[in-house]
Structure 1
Amino acid sequence: MRILGIESSCDETGLALFDTEQGLLAHALHSQVALHAEYGGVVPELASRDHVRKALPLLRSLLEKADIEPQAIDGVAYTAGPGLVGALLVGASIGRSLAFAWGVPAIGVHHMEGHLLAPMLERPAPAFPFVALLVSGGHTLLVEVLGIGQYKILGDTLDDAAGEAFDKTAKLLGLEYPGGPVLAKLALKGDPGRFRFPRPMTNRPGLDFSFSGLKTFALTTFQESNKCDQTRADIARAFQDAVVDTLLIKCRRALQQTGVMRLVIAGGVGANQALRDGLTHMTKALGAELFFPRLEFCTDNGAMIAYAGACRLQAGERQGLEISVRPRWSLEELPALGMSA
């Protein structure tokens, strides 16, 4: 079964072709970073308009790259939520319309299920069950995964997601957009011994997260220090160390509480090298397995949507002719496919 995947939940237009027998055939991505940079963040209306401009040219490029005609496509998957409602509607309208025109089934995919299953595109792929850390600009979740659609949320963020906290802290330090990767690069120059930030909610039971206080702590520290380049680097290092340590502590706790010694990392913050290094050491010490998607599939992309859509279309799920999206949508609401451990 050959599936076209369309991702348009926020500020990246991603398309991909996935074959259930041959694997990933081709993928293409357009980032809107330059478009939103002058505003210091994503402007929803501009994001929606840019998806409209870029989606079909990307599709033509994708089909040419894969040397495939539209008649060879067996289904269309598109991100139906969560995300920015306007951006979601663009992808859903295009995906549903293409499926109707081609006479093939369509399926609306949960954005976070796409991230969660992205490591399945790698070899070796993780086996069920596993614990997943979904960590991005909009989400920080710990999920116990027994099978596709069999998700139990173990911990969620009570305020800012980890990626959002990275971006906001970078902005208050005067760093350019997008702030998260810039802050991580600056942290390499920081003195790890100059500042120590708190590790929020690690001194109490549970697996929930809270990162807004770290942003405030960074702001206060910056205001009370000389605002030179080295101070910025030292604060960046202290902030990143605090976020990484917090994620490590919670992941270790989740593995120990569930007894599942298999950890999957997904989402844009999963590309952070300090986090990858810390998780590698932590899981090795526990004797647990660790799985990452490749760096290009940590951030939003069409490949993860094509894969998740292929799984559900193969199981017989179909979308009606209506075009509908869900800006808010819990993973736990998804139906199970019966693929359990």
Structure 2
Amino acid sequence: MDKELALSVLDLVGMRTGETAGSAIARSVDLAQHVEQWGYRRFWLAEHHSIAGLACSATSVLIGHVAAATRTIRVGSGGVMLPNHAPLVVAEQFGTLEALYPGRIDLGLGRAPGGDFQTMRALRRDSRQSGDDFPALLAELQSYLGPEKPGQVVKAIPGQGSHVPITLLGSSGFSAHLAGKLGLPFAFAAHFAPEYLYAAAQIYREQFRPGAVLQKPYLMIAVQVIAAETDAAARRLFTTPQQRFLQLIRNQPVELLPPVDSMDSLWQDWERDAVQNKLGAAIIGSDATVRQRLERLVEDTGANEIIAVTDTYEHADRLASYQRLAGIAAAAPALAGSSVVSP
């Protein structure tokens, strides 16, 4: 049993306007090295395609790069969008990563496209796909990562028998139900779909069946977090992710933009409502405020692990927020012992 709430990081490798991908990736590596020192459990990288401002499209390549620059922190995908890829290729990639960095690789899986319709076609996805074939794709992938079966013709080499840990990701009840049924860890994307969080958490726990991976449910929640010296300072830093989501709904590049004193002049009422809806679960404020909201989130959901999404413009502010969050979780008695399983 862990003594503290497990903390992890989800990184989209955000780019500033005019910045090179290499520069943004270097910041991500530096962040991973710092959070490793502060006791974070894992560093996950997302998969997005054809989105100006995000340099995380080649997820498995980035995982290998970050793992090579760190020593102990788990590194993985948050997540690989499985319908975009042949399960055999995913098994080979993550089997290779596991061979290079034994015991440190995670495979988080989602079923969304990670891009728009045109991008789906460029990824060779069938335009008629709805994600309903995800369970079949998952079963095929598991067959390549599990032990070789008698008569098995196609094998993942490396990959076969590697047992790379799989976590299902979701922003609705579909993956919550599937993760529970299969006895797998479940990570909910509250950083952009907070309205379904509590329903999905309940579905996961109600549907959970013990299995070879877990005897008890293991719920991870990805949520926007910015901790700063004061509530006002944190709210100002929060205008950077607010601007990102505003650009997203306007179908504009989502580069990191400097914080502003007020968002009032930047958005219309309906845009403000849309952004606030997407960021409704965000935990923003001073150490005391973040601690209070974090305790409430864990109490209300039974979360075992928080995956913090912190996108500030200045790298120093991002580091400071993650360091503060580590201290908050370690010092809060209400969070002690909440992580009951360590998948």
> Greater relative contact order (Cα 8 A, min sep 6): structure 1 or 2?
1
Length-normalised TM-score, structure 1? 0.32
**TM-score, normalising length: structure 2:** 0.32
> Larger Rg: 1 or 2?
1
